[in-house]
């Protein structure tokens, strides 16, 4: 027992399967590409420069290399993670920062309520979003000048 709305030429089909008892019910919706997001029930738009980090899907340096590529393409990236993946996201940000590829622009933290599949209850998870921008050569030059200034001050104190 499934019903499906036909796909228009310029539309995008979104499909969600609901399990109701022993029956699988297929609910499809057609959303034209120019549809107003307030009238449709589609999920939030995915930012092109956002990297959502997971702890168990990919290794650490997959995310580091992806962030490097995104940084070249967009000049600004957003790293985000939930729960146990927060440590991985912080490590990726620190690697980019220590290699002189990016600087932190903004760090946002929050909690998100997610439904536990096994127990069927609401679970609160920590969320972090780190906005990083491409490090300018001017930033690098000023950091070098500042380090040289600190070194001369240290020599003067001796």
Q: What is the mean pLDDT of each successive set of 10 residues along the chain, which is 158 residues long?
A: 40 38 38 40 64 91 95 94 95 96 96 88 94 77 58 60
**For residues 54 and 125, what is the distance between their CA atoms, to the nearest angstrom?**
13
User: % helix / strand / coil in the chain, to the nearest 5?
Assistant: 35, 35, 30
Length of the chain: 158
pTM of the model: 0.58
User: Which ranges in the chain belong to alpha helices (H)?
Assistant: 60-74, 86-98, 137-157
Per domain, the residue ranges of the chain are 1-33, 55-135
Strand bridging mode 23-31 / 50-53: unpaired
**For residues 47 and 31, what is the distance between their CA atoms, to the nearest angstrom?**
19
Predicted pLDDT at 8: 37
| Range 55-135 has CATH code 3.30.110.20 | yes
Query: Which of the 8 DSSP states describes residue 84?
Result: G
């Amino acid at each position: 027992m499934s019903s499906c709305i036909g796909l228009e030429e310029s539309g995008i089909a979104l499909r969600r399967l609901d399990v109701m008892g022993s029956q699988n019910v297929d609910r499809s919706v057609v959303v034209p590409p120019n549809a107003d997001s307030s009238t449709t029930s589609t999920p939030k738009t995915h930012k092109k420069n956002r990297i959502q980090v997971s702890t168990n899907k990919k290794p650490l340096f997959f995310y580091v290399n992806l962030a490097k590529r995104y940084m070249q393409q967009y000049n600004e990236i957003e790293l985000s993670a939930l729960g146990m993946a927060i440590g991985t996201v912080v490590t990726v940000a620190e690697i980019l920062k220590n290699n002189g590829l990016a600087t932190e622009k903004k760090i946002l933290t929050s909690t998100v309520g997610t439904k536990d599949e096994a127990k069927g209850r609401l679970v609160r998870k920590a969320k972090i979003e780190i906005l990083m921008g491409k490090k300018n050569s001017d930033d690098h030059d000023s950091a070098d000048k500042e380090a040289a200034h600190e070194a001369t001050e240290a020599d003067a104190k001796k």
